[in-house]
Structure 1
Amino acid sequence: MFINLKNFFILIFFANLSYAEIIDISSLNHYIYTHIEYSADLEHFPTNTEKDIKKRLIEKELFDPKIKFIDNQPIISTIIENLLQNRNLSGITAVNNFGFTKKRSNIKMFPTNATLTYKPDDKIDRNQYSLIEPFEPVIILHTSKDGEWFFIQTFFTRGWINKNDLTNVSYDNFRRYFNTKKIVIVRDRVKIGDLIFGAGSRIPIEEEDEQYYTIIKPDSKLIKLKKDNDISIFPVVYNYEIAKKFLDSLLDQPYDWGGKKGYRDCSSLVMDLFRIFGVDLPRNSKQQAEVGEIIWERGDKKSFFIALDKAEPFCTFIHMKGHIIIYGGKDKDDYLIYHAVERFGNILYNKVVKQHIISDNTNLWSKAYRITTICRSKEKRYD
């Protein structure tokens, strides 16, 4: 599979580009939508989906037998059965509905706000899939038995969201969103009106003048927003200095599995960064390892650093099992990396960190299994 993936990007992803282009957003997103499970092209999503397909999507997420606690109390079989019954499999219809998120919201594995953990007071909630930003378009595939939850498809995942966090819109209004000029948030946690928007959030523009944008909020109300460094016209043209500035601004933010507290884990750090530039990367690190050109795979220490010497900083990723790291370029005789990490080696970090591969004794070359890039190589750009 990975040989074919590499050939795909050599022949298509990097083909027919002007030398000024660093990321071919259109081709990259098309590849993600059509090849990476859980990702979807929402703009062209159908108005109907076969009931059997929906059922398979919902049932795909099995109850993890290692989950032993619900809200720090021992979980019993009747509780598990009630969670599964609330998925309402007998009530599935073929009709799809469309909507937008009203605010920053959580996407869940099951239709409940309950915390599901392996052990008491566990920091990792296995019911938490991901954070989703305000004004994100979603496909509403199904409704829970209690009527309180929607099973949705986003551009990067599927899962359950509280119905009160969404506003339903017509298909025509939903499609119109994709062809509307937008701003994008380029700094983390920007407050606009009564809402918090994370980096990469995209908000439609009603009109603009030299000093202000008039934007449309998820409730359809208009708000006048002064132009400043926190926002830009979507998408921002990729530049490694912009990427570096963004990542440096997040250093020491808490590590946050699934974004439950509004921060980031390793893969959401990567996803949010490249949403600024219009790239809809998948959500988890395993899926992200399937995107881009493979420039190194399971080699020795020497070949690892040869690959990094040739790689573009900030759009090159180092992959470990269950973890993704952003390569930040050379620093004299060393190499910089950025990642949101709970524990690395024997050190507990629980935050976003910047490190040196060699001087910080990461031994990264022995732990990594792949290096990928979503940027065109230097040879491609400057030959």
Structure 2
Amino acid sequence: MLHADYWIGKIHDADKVIMTKNEISKFNQKIIERINKVYNLEKYKESLTKDELMGYINEYKVPTKERYFTNGNVVTKDFYDSLIENTNLVGIKKINPVKYGITVRDTSIRTFPTDTGIYSIKGDNEFDRFQETGCQAIEPVIILHTSYDGKWFFVQMYNYRGWVKKDDIAIAKDKKEIFDYLDTKDFIVVTGNCIRTQFNRLDKDISELEFDMGTRIPIEINKLVSIGNQNAFGNHDVKLPTRDVNGNLVFKDALVSMLQDINIGYLPYTRANILRQAFKLLGDRYGWGDIFNGRDCSSFIMYVYKTFGFRLPRNANEQEESAGISYKFGEGTKVWERIQLFNEVKPGAAIYMPGHAMIYIGTENGIPYIIHDFSGYGIKKGNEYEFVPVNEVGVTSTLLLTSSGTPFIEKFTSILQFEDKI
């Protein structure tokens, strides 16, 4: 049960293509039309008014409840005031032209322009409340604003806004430079948990760079025979964005072994491949907002589906409302009725409940099972339920108890298959 092939063997049409690459592209457009936090960056407006930009930045509010630093000290008003000052609202003009950039490495989108984490519970440093999400390398971003200290950009990626370290972004001359690079027909997709480029003693910018599942990397065909004094035989020649001394975009060639877990182009979208991709992350560390070099529940789903070319919303509640074939649970739906509904659902579908998202993998002895990136579950101790931390990707029954003692399945609100109705 801890192997994808066990569940794939239960599916009669496991290798049938669910949607073609062209159909997935059209499906992504439906998501953009339905979810107002998902954008086509190529069609983003050329400038923002003062009110628009201030509104975006001010969507993030300082906490009103007591919060704690990593060392357990209470966060003070002076600290929050310094964060607001660093958002540089005074630097916003009447009209603010946007710039285009691209991430040169995996990075984080933060609530405010700071690395400092704050936490809801003293001594519990699992959930940094200033961590919004991870942002993979080679992602285009719209640069909307710069922090007062000049170390952070306020950016829009395709499905999220927030503050990113300036040093993780290469600034392009214009959007054409970005999208001419990204829209190439020749690319590889990272289909393993992560890969890395070959060591290059002559250029540290492209040496042993790591790329996570779902990263799309343009490649050069028959261009070079040697990179970094290494013959290119047995490798893909990948074209990577880097920064010059002024932070401007410069492309460099690097090598990725053909034996790493990659695919030329997107994977065929089949139920077997969904499960194979999900199980490659089994045991991986949970990370709220993708901290700890990990993923959280909704980004686990997002990155699995990126290997097929999907551009899903970031957060679980937005994913739940996006396009696809949806099955809804009413509040009064009994457990046996919930189990019965899975007779209509295909493995690989996403399941949602308040604050959590999972992938359905099939049934065992009539019980639906899931693979999910979760923080923990509940176990009964006397008359109380005790929280058991897990913090990793695991396979569980849907009857597993939550920390309140309620089975997961009783909290399900919907199931979503990312495909068009026939």
Which TM-score band applies after superposition, normalised by the shorter structure?
0.7 to 0.9
Indicate the SS of the match to 2:213.
coil
Equivalent-residue separation in structure 2 for 1:327 and 1:208 (angstroms): 42
Q: Is the 8 A contact 1:22 1:238 kept in 2?
A: yes
Structure 2 match to 1:349: 390
Q: Is the 8 A contact 2:18 2:270 kept in 1?
A: no
Among 335, 352, 362, which residue is 2:368 paired with?
335
Task: State the one-letter code of the partner of 1:194.
Answer: E
Residue 212 (structure 1) shift = 4.3
1:246-261 → structure 2 map (5 Å cutoff):
246-261=277-292
Equivalent-residue separation in structure 1 for 2:337 and 2:321 (angstroms): 21
Equivalent-residue separation in structure 1 for 2:342 and 2:241 (angstroms): 42
Confirm whether residue 319 of structure 1 aligns to residue 358 of structure 2.
Answer: no
Residue 279 (structure 1) shift = 0.6
Structure 1 match to 2:75: 75
With normalisation by structure 2, the TM-score equals: 0.79
Structure 1 match to 2:320: 289
User: Which deviates more from structure 2 when the two are superposed, residues 24-33 or residues 152-161?
Assistant: 24-33
Among 221, 239, 246, which residue is 1:207 paired with?
221
Equivalent-residue separation in structure 1 for 2:328 and 2:414 (angstroms): 6
Structure 1 spans left out of the alignment, 5+ residues:
1-18
Q: Is the 8 A contact 1:317 1:324 kept in 2?
A: yes
Equivalent-residue separation in structure 2 for 1:156 and 1:345 (angstroms): 33
Change (3 A) 1:186 1:78: same
Equivalent-residue separation in structure 2 for 1:50 and 1:105 (angstroms): 27
Q: Is the 8 A contact 1:203 1:217 kept in 2?
A: yes
Equivalent-residue separation in structure 2 for 1:180 and 1:105 (angstroms): 24
Equivalent-residue separation in structure 2 for 1:250 and 1:178 (angstroms): 26
Q: Is the 8 A contact 1:152 1:161 kept in 2?
A: yes
Structure 2 match to 1:97: 99
Residue deviations 1:66-105 (CA, integer Å, cap 9, x gap) = 2522343322112111101111112124111111111111
Residue 206 (structure 1) shift = 2.1
Structure 2 match to 1:143: 146
Change (3 A) 1:359 1:113: closer
Task: State the one-letter code of the partner of 1:151.
Answer: F
Indicate the SS of the match to 2:342.
helix
Task: State the one-letter code of the partner of 2:195.
Answer: V
Task: State the one-letter code of the partner of 1:155.
Answer: Y
Task: State the one-letter code of the partner of 1:167.
Answer: A
Residue deviations 1:342-381 (CA, integer Å, cap 9, x gap) = 122343321111012358898333111222221356xx3x
Q: Alignment length, in residue pairs?
A: 359
Task: State the one-letter code of the partner of 1:340.
Answer: D
Structure 2 match to 1:188: 193
Among 239, 243, 247, which residue is 1:216 paired with?
239
Structure 1 match to 2:19: 22
With normalisation by structure 1, the TM-score equals: 0.87
Equivalent-residue separation in structure 2 for 1:359 and 1:121 (angstroms): 27
Residue deviations 1:246-301 (CA, integer Å, cap 9, x gap) = 22222222211111111111011001100111111111111111123321322333
Task: State the one-letter code of the partner of 2:396.
Answer: Q
Q: Is the 8 A contact 2:188 2:218 kept in 1?
A: yes
Among 111, 115, 123, which residue is 1:113 paired with?
115
Task: State the one-letter code of the partner of 1:370.
Answer: S
Indicate the SS of the match to 1:222.
strand
Hey, which of these two has a bigger chunk of helix by percent?
Answer: 1
Task: State the one-letter code of the partner of 2:286.
Answer: Y
Q: Is the 8 A contact 1:98 1:137 kept in 2?
A: yes
1:33-48 → structure 2 map (5 Å cutoff):
33-48=32-47
% identical aligned pairs: 29
Change (3 A) 1:48 1:360: closer
Structure 2 spans left out of the alignment, 5+ residues:
1-15, 198-206, 224-232, 243-250, 380-387
Q: Is the 8 A contact 1:334 1:359 kept in 2?
A: no
Residue 201 (structure 1) shift = 0.4
Residue 229 (structure 1) shift = 5.4
1:264-303 → structure 2 map (5 Å cutoff):
264-291=295-322, 292-298=324-330, 299-303=333-337
CA RMSD of aligned residues (A): 2.3
Among 290, 306, 310, which residue is 2:344 paired with?
310
Residue 47 (structure 1) shift = 2.5
User: Which deviates more from structure 2 when the two are superposed, residues 358-367 or residues 148-157?
Assistant: 358-367
Residue deviations 1:310-340 (CA, integer Å, cap 9, x gap) = 11111x1221110011111233533220111
Q: Is the 8 A contact 1:207 1:215 kept in 2?
A: no
Q: Is the 8 A contact 1:139 1:154 kept in 2?
A: yes
Residue 49 (structure 1) shift = 2.4
Q: Is the 8 A contact 2:17 2:268 kept in 1?
A: no
User: Which deviates more from structure 2 when the two are superposed, residues 247-256 or residues 328-337?
Assistant: 328-337
Indicate the SS of the match to 2:343.
helix
Equivalent-residue separation in structure 2 for 1:27 and 1:303 (angstroms): 34
Equivalent-residue separation in structure 2 for 1:92 and 1:180 (angstroms): 35
- Looking at CA atoms only, which structure, 1 or 2, has the larger radius of gyration? 2
Task: State the one-letter code of the partner of 1:260.
Answer: I
Q: Is the 8 A contact 1:47 1:95 kept in 2?
A: yes
Q: Is the 8 A contact 1:107 1:128 kept in 2?
A: yes
Q: Is the 8 A contact 1:39 1:282 kept in 2?
A: yes
Indicate the SS of the match to 2:178.
helix
Residue 27 (structure 1) shift = 2.8
